[in-house]
Chain A
Amino acid sequence: MSLKIDQDHSRFRQIVKGKIRENLRKYISSGELIGKQGKEVVSIPIPQIDIPHFRFGDKQQGGTGQGEGNPGDPMGGSEQEGEGDGKKAGQGEGQHALEVDVSLDELAAILGEELELPDIQDKGKSKIINAKDRYTGVRRVGPESLRHFRRTYREALKRQISVGSYSPDKPVIVPIPDDKRYRSWKTEAEPVANAVIIYMMDVSGSMGDEQKEIVRIESFWIDAWLQRQYKGLESRFIIHDAVAREVDRDTFFHTRESGGTMISSAYKLCSQLIDDHYPPEEWNIYPFHFSDGDNWSMDDTLLCVDILRQKILPRANVFAYGQVESPYGSGQFIKDLKEHFGADERVVTSEIRDKDAIVQSIKEFLGKGK
């Protein structure tokens, strides 16, 4: 039996795909529900066509709520409507919505095809063999600390029964050296292909929600792509205004600081992280930095260039800088980088004007197969 709604539903799908009623396409917004599939968080696209009405502008309106908090505290979420987990991503092109029934891995593959991304050429690091010991067998010689008690006991028991010195009434087992068994290990060689992405984001006053949304979407895709390329992918997150600190993913996307911008602080911390945790011989390192390009001073910019050249570039696969357009940013930093590293292949810069520019920017970042 088919449902009556099927007809309306297929009509709606056709509108979304742009096959009919093209004039409606401009009203399509790609909302999303955040759901869980196993461990993976998936975004479930809910394209919505908003029929225009006479209504009030969103920002003036505000509303009433209920719960804890003091005046000045942020509201949970910034949309007025929606219940439960419904969360809207705002305006955007409908076609960027993910189809739900594909896994993250497939998605990345599709992304790769769409953007014609080359597979990443390892820095030769997977030729490095990491020796790893695994206890897999038993042998007759070895250090006492690895003696296998149960096996040794069994051997002794076997021997005593066979020579008739075992009595069930007085079961005393005395092992002799020949009975002793020791655990033994095998050394296995593992090619290393580890990668770490170090996300850095400028959270100074000029980075608004929309800018962060762009960073969120972009880093999601970068994550997905590199995840596919490397088995053990780690992500670290650094936020900075005038000072930098390392945070977890959640904080990274939701923090709001204000104040000046000293990009060098983030680069220092990034370099520090690499020093402490990620020896470049074993790791593919991908620092990504997002900012609106408004650095505190020229001196600081020069310092950044210096840190990049001395400490980060020699160790990273590629250094990517994404400049998000904000109403306040001067956008100078990207020019400075281009000036200093214009010819250097290891530095990739990209300007992301709005959400539509994300795709192009991902292509710029990952298009070189580094």
Chain B
Amino acid sequence: MSEFALKTALPQYLRQEQELIQRLAAEEGLDFFPIVFEILSYDQMNEIAAYGGFPNRYPHWRHGMEYERLAKSYEYGLSKIYEMVINNNPSYAYLLEGNSLVDQKLVMAHVCAHVDFFKNNFAFRSTDLDVGGKTVDPTNRPKNYDPNRRWIDKMANHGSRVRKHIARLGINKVEEFIDHCLSLENLIDPHAAFHGKRKKIVEDDDATAEVPRLKSKDYMESFINPEEYLDKQRQKMEAEKERQKRFPERPERDVLGFLLQHAPLERWEHDVLEIIREEALYFVPQMQTKIMNEGWATYWHSKLLTEKILNASEIIDYAENAAGVLATSGGRLNPYKLGVELYRNIEERWNKGQFGKEWEECDDLDAKRHWNLRLGLGKKKLMEVRALYNDVTFIDEFLTPEFCREQKLFTFAYSNRNERFEIETREFKAVKEKLLFQLTNAGNPFIYVEDANHENKGELYLRHDHQGLDLKIDYAKEVMRSLVRVWKRPVNLASITETKQVTYRYDGSEHSQKTGKAA
């Protein structure tokens, strides 16, 4: 490695650019945490990228695997990482040594917008370390908002904790357990931070269950509280009582959290599982806002660079790079492209007043095309959108049939007849539905802990909330191994496979399954 690469501070000329870009971004109304730029050689860049952006993580072969992929793609000129930025306060961002000045400027502007997004988008409130579960209202935050997001330190601490366990127990043992935990890493509740404290209903056991009645005069009693109604109420209360006997009381989506609290774990196992869960939760907001976040950064770098920063000699280089960023190859959806186009669409609509009741109800295509109330609300709306939406709500609210057509969106599906993926339809409703489905729960299936004492044998009973797609069964069986490793008792999983209800079971040595009736 070259000696230069060891000095990661920005050189003078880039520092000047940084100051200029940050000033211009702030003038436009972006509001970001302080940003620390570091300049890295490509192997340092690949290393940090392999660790998910953090210079210090817990040791695991998975990072080595990622590093190999990145290093080989780079060495063969297939791809390289331009930028990386970490949701941290202050934010750390990395520039690749040897990139052209235009590229560096682009990255810096891009990063400013990302950091603005980290700071202002509500989803990222869950990564504030100093609020401890008090993030219930994500929009309500103090005036001088300066949260503790020192995740770089936290991840480094995780690293040293894991290293300590390795030193004590040997790498194979710890690594194997980490593998199991990683298999479970998507079994979290992405909204956990916003639940607040669960209300505990303490009830007197002895309290005679009085069926609540609606107030009525005597002669009206049989009409206002008819027998059927009372029966129903009674049944409800019975069911409620029945439920309270169960454990957990209601299906628990935070499977990892549940295991952490209730599985018979050794101290070190508990520690490792906790680390995996915390880190998984940290990355949740980034997955929930991929389109919005990249779109926002792209919107701002193109605006700042083309309007303020670049001179005429740099514009071609910039355009070439921008075209690469926004390219959609092979018909795949590019989050950068989709995001930025949607923001621009929103800006235009709110500038021209193309929203609200009158707009929605207007059937005259020509009038719609020339609709311009000159409201100029675009920028205000954009700032609001970036704070209050995530990808799901963003698409749900702002994807219009016109936009869908202009952007040539489509859905694709696997054709059994031709054994390939084919374009299915361009119909707006279908496209939107599919897109939302993919984004919901980051494309993961919904799995709940239904019963932790299944058949009174201390077995874990999970249920897959089937919403049209089957689980990949070979994978699911492997995950059940990991669950047994953590729960230390047999594990059951209820799901639907090829329209049949199936309960899978793994008892620690053997897989079995029971097929129920057709779903």
Interface residue stretch chosen among A56-64, A138-146, A333-341: A56-64
A150 to B179, CA, bound (A): 80
A76 to B412, CA, bound (A): 11
Q: Mark A78-96, 1 if CB is under 8 A from B, else 0.
A: 1000011110000000000
Q: Across the interface, which residues of A come within 8 angstroms of B56, CB to CB?
A: 4
**A66 and B476 contacting across the interface, CB-CB below 8 Å:** no
B6 adjacent to chain A (CB < 8 Å) = yes
Q: Mark A2-18, 1 if CB is under 8 A from B, else 0.
A: 01110111111101000
**A65 and B472 contacting across the interface, CB-CB below 8 Å:** no
A137 adjacent to chain B (CB < 8 Å) = no
**B464 and A54 contacting across the interface, CB-CB below 8 Å:** yes
Interface residue stretch chosen among A67-75, A276-284, A353-361: A67-75
**A75 and B76 contacting across the interface, CB-CB below 8 Å:** no
A46 and B72 contact, Cβ closer than 8 Å, known pairs A20-B172, A54-B476, A58-B472: yes
**A73 and B423 contacting across the interface, CB-CB below 8 Å:** yes
Q: Across the interface, which residues of A come within 8 angstroms of B132, CB to CB?
A: none
Q: Across the interface, which residues of B come within 8 angstroms of A314, CB to CB?
A: none
Tell me how far the C-beta of A101 lies from the nearest C-beta in chain B, rounded to whole angstroms.
10
User: Nearest residue in B to A52 (C-beta to C-beta)?
Assistant: B478
Interface of B is mostly: mixed
User: Nearest residue in B to A60 (C-beta to C-beta)?
Assistant: B469
A55 to B412, CA, bound (A): 19
**A77 and B330 contacting across the interface, CB-CB below 8 Å:** yes
Most buried by B among A8, A24, A73: A8
**A55 and B444 contacting across the interface, CB-CB below 8 Å:** yes
User: Nearest residue in A to B176 (C-beta to C-beta)?
Assistant: A21
Q: Mark B53-95, 1 if CB is under 8 A from A, else 0.
A: 0011001111111011100110011110000000000000000
**A60 and B79 contacting across the interface, CB-CB below 8 Å:** no
B185 interface neighbour in A44, A53, A71, A83, Cβ under 8 Å: A53
A332 adjacent to chain B (CB < 8 Å) = no
Q: Across the interface, which residues of B come within 8 angstroms of A66, CB to CB?
A: 328, 331-334, 337-338, 407-410
A128-154 with Cβ < 8 A to chain B:
none
B453 adjacent to chain A (CB < 8 Å) = no
**A56 and B333 contacting across the interface, CB-CB below 8 Å:** no
Q: Across the interface, which residues of A come within 8 angstroms of B46, CB to CB?
A: 5
A76 and B331 contact, Cβ closer than 8 Å, known pairs A55-B444, A55-B475, A56-B472: yes
**B479 and A54 contacting across the interface, CB-CB below 8 Å:** yes
**A3 and B44 contacting across the interface, CB-CB below 8 Å:** yes
Q: Across the interface, which residues of A come within 8 angstroms of B421, CB to CB?
A: 62, 74-75, 78
**B77 and A35 contacting across the interface, CB-CB below 8 Å:** yes
A53 and B183 contact, Cβ closer than 8 Å, known pairs A7-B59, A61-B469, A209-B420: yes
**B479 and A71 contacting across the interface, CB-CB below 8 Å:** no
Tell me how far the C-beta of A81 lies from the nearest C-beta in chain B, rounded to whole angstroms.
9
Q: Across the interface, which residues of B come within 8 angstroms of A61, CB to CB?
A: 414, 469
B386-409 with Cβ < 8 A to chain A:
407-409
A111 adjacent to chain B (CB < 8 Å) = no
A368 adjacent to chain B (CB < 8 Å) = no
Tell me how far the C-beta of B18 lies from the nearest C-beta in chain A, rounded to whole angstroms.
26
Q: Across the interface, which residues of B come within 8 angstroms of A115, CB to CB?
A: none
B433-476 with Cβ < 8 A to chain A:
434-435, 438, 443-445, 447, 464, 469-476
**A64 and B76 contacting across the interface, CB-CB below 8 Å:** no
Number of contact residues on B: which range applies?
A: 35 or more
B160 adjacent to chain A (CB < 8 Å) = no
A100 to B421, CA, bound (A): 30
A49 adjacent to chain B (CB < 8 Å) = yes
B43 adjacent to chain A (CB < 8 Å) = yes
Interface residue stretch chosen among B208-216, B295-303, B424-432, B508-516: B424-432
Tell me how far the C-beta of A104 lies from the nearest C-beta in chain B, rounded to whole angstroms.
15
Q: Across the interface, which residues of B come within 8 angstroms of A56, CB to CB?
A: 443, 445, 469-472
Tell me how far the C-beta of B59 lies from the nearest C-beta in chain A, rounded to whole angstroms.
6
**B412 and A63 contacting across the interface, CB-CB below 8 Å:** yes
Q: How many residues of A contact B (CB 8 A)?
A: 61
Q: Across the interface, which residues of A come within 8 angstroms of B55, CB to CB?
A: 4
A5 interface neighbour in B63, B444, B476, Cβ under 8 Å: B63
User: Nearest residue in A to B78 (C-beta to C-beta)?
Assistant: A85
B333-370 with Cβ < 8 A to chain A:
333-334, 337-338
A256 adjacent to chain B (CB < 8 Å) = yes
Tell me how far the C-beta of B8 lies from the nearest C-beta in chain A, rounded to whole angstroms.
13
Q: Across the interface, which residues of B come within 8 angstroms of A76, CB to CB?
A: 329-332
**B431 and A64 contacting across the interface, CB-CB below 8 Å:** yes
Tell me how far the C-beta of A158 lies from the nearest C-beta in chain B, rounded to whole angstroms.
57
B51 adjacent to chain A (CB < 8 Å) = yes
Q: Across the interface, which residues of A come within 8 angstroms of B469, CB to CB?
A: 56-57, 60-61
A9 interface neighbour in B67, B77, B329, B444, Cβ under 8 Å: B67
**B444 and A54 contacting across the interface, CB-CB below 8 Å:** yes
User: Nearest residue in B to A70 (C-beta to C-beta)?
Assistant: B423
**A5 and B67 contacting across the interface, CB-CB below 8 Å:** yes
Tell me how far the C-beta of A24 lies from the nearest C-beta in chain B, rounded to whole angstroms.
7
B4-37 with Cβ < 8 A to chain A:
6
B115 adjacent to chain A (CB < 8 Å) = no
A53 to B64, CA, bound (A): 20
**A67 and B72 contacting across the interface, CB-CB below 8 Å:** no
**B183 and A21 contacting across the interface, CB-CB below 8 Å:** no
**B411 and A5 contacting across the interface, CB-CB below 8 Å:** no
Q: Mark B186-204, 1 if CB is under 8 A from A, else 0.
A: 1100000000000000000
A51 adjacent to chain B (CB < 8 Å) = yes
Q: Across the interface, which residues of B come within 8 angstroms of A100, CB to CB?
A: 72, 76
Q: Across the interface, which residues of A come within 8 angstroms of B443, CB to CB?
A: 55-56
Q: Across the interface, which residues of B come within 8 angstroms of A8, CB to CB?
A: 50, 59-64, 67
A83 to B325, CA, bound (A): 11
Q: Across the interface, which residues of B come within 8 angstroms of A72, CB to CB?
A: 422-423
B47 adjacent to chain A (CB < 8 Å) = yes
**B187 and A54 contacting across the interface, CB-CB below 8 Å:** yes
A188-233 with Cβ < 8 A to chain B:
208-209
**A5 and B64 contacting across the interface, CB-CB below 8 Å:** yes
**A53 and B186 contacting across the interface, CB-CB below 8 Å:** yes
B167 adjacent to chain A (CB < 8 Å) = no
Top-8 shortest CB links A-B: A76-B330, A12-B64, A8-B64, A62-B413, A9-B64, A52-B478, A35-B76, A65-B331
Name 18 interchain pairs, CB-CB below 8 A, sorted by A: A1-B1, A5-B51, A8-B62, A8-B64, A8-B67, A33-B72, A51-B62, A55-B186, A55-B443, A57-B470, A62-B424, A65-B411, A66-B332, A66-B410, A67-B331, A84-B78, A86-B78, A209-B420
* Chain B interfacial positions (CB closer than 8 Å to A): 1, 6, 43-44, 46-47, 50-51, 55-56, 59-65, 67-69, 72-73, 76-79, 171-172, 175-176, 179, 182-183, 185-187, 328-334, 337-338, 407-414, 416, 418-426, 431, 434-435, 438, 443-445, 447, 464, 469-476, 478-479, 482
Q: A57-B470, A64-B435 are in contact. List 13 more A-B contacts (CB 8 A).
A: A3-B43, A44-B72, A51-B179, A56-B445, A57-B473, A58-B414, A62-B413, A62-B421, A64-B434, A74-B420, A75-B420, A75-B422, A100-B76
